[in-house]
A and B are shown apart, each in its own frame.
Chain A
Amino acid sequence: MTKRLIAFVFGVALVVAIASLAVGMLLRSSRGSGVGFFAELDLRPLDQMAVSHEGRLKSYESFATEYVGLICGHARPGGLAPDAMLMDMMIRPDRYVDADVIYIKKKPMRVQLAAALARASDAGGAPGIDDARARAIVETGLVSLALLADDRAQVVLDRWALDLVRTAKAAGQIEAARQLMRPEVIADALKFVPPPGGDPHTPWLHAGELFRSAPDDARAPIPLAQKAQLRGSWESLVRTWRAEDAAGVNAAVRDLAAPLASMSPTLYPSKRRLAWESAYFTLKHLTWVWVCYVIAVVFLLMGVVYRWDVAWAVGFGAFLASFGLHTCAVGLRWWVSGRWPNANMFEAVTTAVWMGALVGLLFELLARKGALRGVFALCGASAGMVAMMSAHFIPELDGNIRNMMPVLHDLWLYIHTNVIIASYALIFMSAVTAGLYLVRRALGGSADFAQAGGAALLIDQQPTDAAGISKGAVLDGATMVLIELAFIMLWAGIGMGAIWADHSWGRPWGWDPKEVFALNTFLVFLVLLHVRFKVRDKGLWTAVLALVGCGVMLFNWVVINFVIAGLHSYA
């Protein structure tokens, strides 16, 4: 018992140590990023400055991350943090004319652009870019304003704009990035001055509006002294930034951010909320928790395969700690966004798997003394690892916090969507045990299966069962426990979706691709349950169909969402 406790604490400590390391590295890289002037900057006061952007009050860090992301994608040219880069782009735009900062997502498009720029110009015979630059464009996807303004690039951009199926959207994003880099556009978007009076529907002001407004302007009834103070701080910021006077910038930033909250105390978000929002973005949405889940998966796998208690204890400790961090990520996002995070793909993936991991944890606690020990924790950790890796590495899973579409403002978003995505997480988890079962069979394992199906296995289990139940039966039983719950939740979720669709779109069922594939996923498990009655090799068929069901679920979530348009495409 003591050995297990020590192992458990070790697992927790391992994850805490990794998390501490990650937090420390991210905080260090976000402060004093770059070299010289940028290394001496301290923009922390801006973390508590709110910016009104598309219906949300964001922290400056959050705003800058989203804004710079629209230009640079996930790349960080020059190692600059988004907050510093955005300010620099606005104040010293000339530095960015030749800098490779505009991101092109699709690799074939990068290749086409690089090839066009590498050719000598017909008109005037201007030489093409050298091989190294062309390679850099293809590899990083980053190009400069100057290169995009080149006639050769313009020809390519024009051609892309005409292909509405394949390239026009990406060409539009490039054009949008060019516009977003204009200093006046950045300044206009930076609405950081709250309207006095506290009316939530009154637009916030950007610096230009504030300084241009007459003293009696109804939109900007700000006391002259306060206006003068803000103006002074703003001009000082611009002046010192241009002069690369880091100390002056740091002082100007402090002076600029300090009085803003007092201008509209009822409207202004709390400093704590803004600071945590900034921290959430600085810490990269905590998606690096996947590393912690990896630790848990490795030890839990050893625990399950070798029935090694110590490994299980380490893995369970690591899983518990990883799940704690995952909970922090979901909870922090919930708090700073002001709503339960399940309104876009990033949130759906991370929240769904958090719910799946929670179920895995509860089942693990139920099964901790039986033959199924370690299996549910392993499933939860595996799902958490894959989901957080996806959120971390796939750019399409945009982690920025935005408002929900009007149609999502409904109670059923919280009921239907959560039930459905939780069932998807369970389906994925069942595929983990099904996959292990198949691996075991491939390695010569016997055709065992659980005699009791689903929850009955948990309910009927005895502490003494552990020694008598084969690993095949354990894996098959765990698969059935998870599938059974997923099956019911999926059916209930589809029904709840029909209720929501009925009062939102005026029809409960419209044969939308997402609806049909939720039904198709259900059909696979329906077939699985009935096949299990008829076949002899129940374990094999269950595992195969569980994997097929998981494939259909992933097809629904990925291909249907991104390839086939439908009413659900925003989710």
Chain B
Amino acid sequence: MVDQAHGQDMFAGARSPRRSVLDLLSSVPLGISLLSVLFAYCWLGSAGLFFPVWTDGGLAWRHVMVRQWRAFELTEFEWFHTWFFVGLCGLICLNMAVATVRRIPFNAMKAGVWMIHSGVVVLAIGSVIYFATKVEGDTPVLRRQVVATLPDGATVAIPAVVGARAQVGPYAIEVASVQPDYELRTTGFEGVTDFAVQVMVTQPRAGAEVDTTFIRQLLAGHPQFTEDVIPGEGRVVNIERYGGAALLDRPITLLLEPVPQDAFWVKDSWALYVREVGAQTWTQRNIPSGGGWFGRGLPRYNDSFGATDDVWPVEGADSSGTDAIDLSVHRADDALGDVDVRVTGYLRYGEMQSRRVPSADVAGSPLVDVAMAMSDGRVFRYQLAAWEPAERSQLEGRLAFEWLERPADLELLRARLAPGELTFTVLSADGSGPYQEVVAVLNELGEPDGSPFKPIGDTGFTYRLGPAIGGLAVGPGQSASFVAVELQTPEGEVIRRAVCSDPAFTIDRHGVTGGGKPDARIVTLYRPSGREQLVFVAGPGVESTASAPVKLLWRSSGGAVLEQAMRAGDGVEVQPGMTLRLEQYAAHSGVQTRPMIVVPEQRDQDAQANHTFSLIKVQLTPAGGPPIERWLPFQRYVFDDAVYERAGLSRFEPARVDLPDGRSVELAFGRERRALPTAVELEDFVLTSHVGGFTGNVASVRDWTSVLRSAGDDRVVRVSVNAPKQVGGVWLFQSYWDAPRGARGAGDTGSPGFGFTGLGVGTRRGVVVALLGAGLACCGMVYASYVKPIVRRRMRTGGGALS
């Protein structure tokens, strides 16, 4: 601050260049201008720009992050560490220091201002130390590993993650299940819970005994209660022939031990990992980060790839191709030391997808690309390959593409497309001939509720059709189709009959309970239609022309089988509100795998921020060989083994590359990995809940604590939320944990959680200096604002003479 009363220059004299510079540097307007620029810079970097735009829904605000523009490509940290920002802060400090020395007298009345300005300078010094030495990252620490040892010393360790498996001598071991809160029932330990791992041990020997496979249960904190279970027989201790032993007599020792973690992964960094196929460990090549016009690294926020055919075109996404990048990622001492390795493409959010494209390969299947447009604007796209059983149909078989060799095949198809038929045969009570009526089953959903019953001739029976369903299993390897029908007898009773294509399985249900033999007075037979409803056909068995090589056959809502010759671009309204359009036909096709850019509105914002679906394109050029290109998906952690993917820590999708010289290598894309000063092990993980216990919701969690053992000094430290600990020169803090989760889809069984902890890793040199500076400035503010006026008033009233 500047003192008006004492605003005279203490270095007054003849004007000189030096004095002009000093005048400028001690100028308050300069300080105000610099602070205003700092304000604007901070605003732009942190909040970006908001501006109004006119949309269909009216006026809306649009938000853009300036630092993420293609020109900058900077993270928050990078934006606030550019030369401009550092220079600006330096200039402000210089201006403040010079103005203080030249313009503000050093006395008790001005002590507050001196303290404030000194404090800010000290804070700046502390910040320079902190940010110049700052390292920030994170690391997961698994809770336990299973260590298997044989008498000959052979040892194998696998993480205690369901599905982890290994071979040790003749034994195959596999982690069958993990129970993080296994409750002990042993006397004296009732109610105690422990981390339990069940390991399946298999000894595949010729002439094996019945107990060759057994499960060994290991408890992290209670090794004395290790016991074996024989599938189908129960705990070994309860089986008479083992005489009360808890363990089978097998020369294999299984122990549950902590897993040392000796590395962490650096925040906002990129790295390419390389290893030969079969090797266990990766070598790392750091990829420079910070793209944009001013950087020479890998971009983060904007797609960069050279050619449009690098990615699949997607409606709504910009797949037009942009500036290509060409980053050399060299390292001489790894498996690709003699190969030129470059990163030539980057996608922020994409997924690898295999699609068929027209091909000259005559072995490739014929292909149609079809668009189904609904009247409400929705469009569904399908790709069908006639020669590939798994790709021949969509929509559970209703939409198909068939290659017909003979005209007779077309006739068969027409028959399959015809609607199903339900035949009623009513036997008369008076001995006259039976009455028969055939009705078409046109609608799989049946007739709407409340539809009237229809008479079956003059028999007195009436009926109403219900839903039809096909492919139901009725026995081992046997399936059948059913149609539900409600029958009203002449007596007025309503029978609900499930009519099966195999009459042996047709049953009646009277009222609301029970099912039994069908009423003998009325016999029903069901001939289902084929599954197909919309079938594209091509091939020698189809009369077609070069201009319309494909024919579409479909069943109309009235049950008629209709046909239409088609060529690419043609559309047919197959049902009211549904148009089927042939977008492409190719006589032969091949499969290509490329990334597909996910349209912005379908991107998960957290996943995007964490680069979960980012990809890079790597180009390998062996000496004398052609370039080989691969897209690599981002992996949060690049582990040595795929089993860690099961723990939910990171995906594991290395790409294999076969080089012309016969070598095969694996490549993976992730973050830079650095060594921790000392390895840490997770001794225990404790979740503290609020009243009512942990419900699965974060609101019920009070705190969580990782009990860590530092390998360096064998010290046990407890890291919990808001309580970091220093281990070997870095600070470890509680970042995330393995929360239980339900199944995410088919094939996923979910996770019981508690299998690992996530630790943040950081350095904090200079922090104390910076905080001292902030504290000094704060004291100065209090002094200048509240102490000084009191002092001054006392001076005035008491006639004191502090100056």
Residues of A whose CB lies within 8 Å of any CB of B are 52-57, 108, 116, 119, 122-124, 152, 155, 159, 162-166, 191, 200-204, 267, 402-403, 405-407, 409-410, 452, 454-456, 459-460, 484-485, 487-488, 491-492, 494-495, 498-500, 502-513, 516-517, 519-520, 523-524, 526-527, 529-531, 533-534, 555, 559-560, 563-565
Contact = CB atoms under 8 A, between A and B. Distances in A.
B790 A459 contact: yes
A53 B691 CA distance: 9
A405 B602 CA distance: 29
B771 A508 contact: yes
Interface string B653-693: 00000000000000000000000000000000000011111
A534 B699 contact: no
B767 A502 contact: yes
B35 interface: yes
25 contacts: A55-B697, A122-B576, A124-B448, A155-B378, A159-B378, A164-B603, A203-B695, A406-B698, A407-B721, A409-B722, A454-B785, A504-B724, A506-B761, A508-B771, A509-B127, A510-B76, A511-B45, A511-B80, A516-B46, A519-B42, A520-B42, A534-B28, A559-B47, A560-B47, A564-B46
Given A108-B57, A122-B375, A155-B376, A204 B721 contact: no
Contacts of A505: 733, 760
Contacts of B764: 502, 506-508
Contact of B42 (A202, A516, A559): A516
Contacts of B603: 164-165
B446 interface: no
A152 B376 CA distance: 9
Contact of B692 (A52, A410, A495): A52
Contact of B703 (A116, A406, A500): A406
B130 A508 contact: yes
Given A511-B77, A511-B79, A520-B39, A165 B693 contact: no
Contacts of B150: none
B793 A530 contact: no
B354 interface: no
B789 interface: yes
Q: Which 6 A-B pairs have the closest CB atoms?
A: A55-B690, A122-B577, A55-B700, A456-B789, A506-B762, A516-B46
- Greatest chain A CB density within 10 A among B2, B77, B376 is at B376
A506 B691 contact: no
Contacts of A526: 35
B793 A54 contact: no
B46 A517 contact: yes
A289 B761 CA distance: 47
A530 B1 contact: yes
B290 interface: no
Nearest to A555: B47
A494 B781 CA distance: 14
A163 B316 CA distance: 12
B601 A162 contact: yes
A534 B29 contact: yes
A488 B782 contact: yes
A527 B375 contact: no
Contact of B774 (A56, A491, A559): A491
A516 B47 CA distance: 9
Interface string B166-206: 00000000000000000000000000000000000000000
A159 B378 CA distance: 9
Contacts of B375: 122
B745 to A, nearest CB: 15
B692 A488 contact: no
A504 B448 CA distance: 61
A516 B701 CA distance: 29
Q: Which of B4, B36, B46, B789 has the most CB of A within 10 A?
A: B46
A504 B721 contact: yes
B505 interface: no
Nearest to A218: B191
A488 B778 contact: yes
A123 B444 CA distance: 13
Contacts of A459: 789-790, 793
Contacts of A57: 691-692
A564 B774 contact: no
Contacts of A203: 692-693, 695
A511 B777 contact: no
Contacts of A492: 778
Interface in B38-86: 38-39, 42-43, 45-48, 50, 57, 63, 76-77, 79-80
A165 B598 CA distance: 12
A488 B782 CA distance: 7
Given A164-B604, A455-B785, A55 B702 contact: yes
B601 A531 contact: no
Interface string B372-384: 0011101000000
Nearest to A493: B778
Interface string B510-551: 000000000000000000000000000000000000000000
B32 interface: yes
A559 B77 CA distance: 21
B731 A116 contact: no
A55 B774 contact: no
A52 B691 contact: yes
B761 A56 contact: no
Nearest to A169: B605
A164 B601 CA distance: 5
Contacts of A507: 134, 136, 762, 764
B781 A488 contact: yes
B786 interface: yes
Contacts of B695: 54-55, 203
A410 B601 contact: no
A58 to B, nearest CB: 11
B31 interface: yes
A122 B376 contact: yes
Contacts of B76: 510-513, 516
Given A455-B785, A499-B771, A555-B47, 12 more contacts: A56-B699, A403-B699, A406-B703, A484-B785, A488-B782, A494-B774, A506-B136, A510-B77, A511-B76, A520-B43, A523-B38, A565-B609
A203 B692 CA distance: 4
Contact of A165 (B31, B374, B605): B605
Nearest to B796: A460
A530 B113 CA distance: 12
B412 interface: no
A179 to B, nearest CB: 14
A482 B446 CA distance: 75
A506 B130 CA distance: 12
A406 B721 contact: yes
Nearest to A163: B601
Nearest to A162: B602
Contacts of B604: 164
A253 B230 CA distance: 53
B703 A409 contact: yes
Contacts of B693: 201-203
User: Taking each of B774, B792, B793, which has the highest tally of chain A beta carbons within 10 Å of its own beta carbon?
Assistant: B774
Contacts of B788: 456
Interface string B357-385: 00000000000000000111010000000
A506 B689 CA distance: 23
Interface in B279-313: none
B332 interface: no
Nearest to A200: B691
Given A155-B378, A165-B605, A506-B136, A530 B35 contact: yes
Contact of A495 (B36, B721, B778, B782): B778
B600 interface: yes
A407 B704 CA distance: 10
Interface in B731-780: 731-733, 760-762, 764, 767, 770-771, 774-775, 777-778
Nearest to B603: A164
A6 B29 CA distance: 53
Given A508-B764, A512-B76, A529-B1, A405 B698 contact: yes
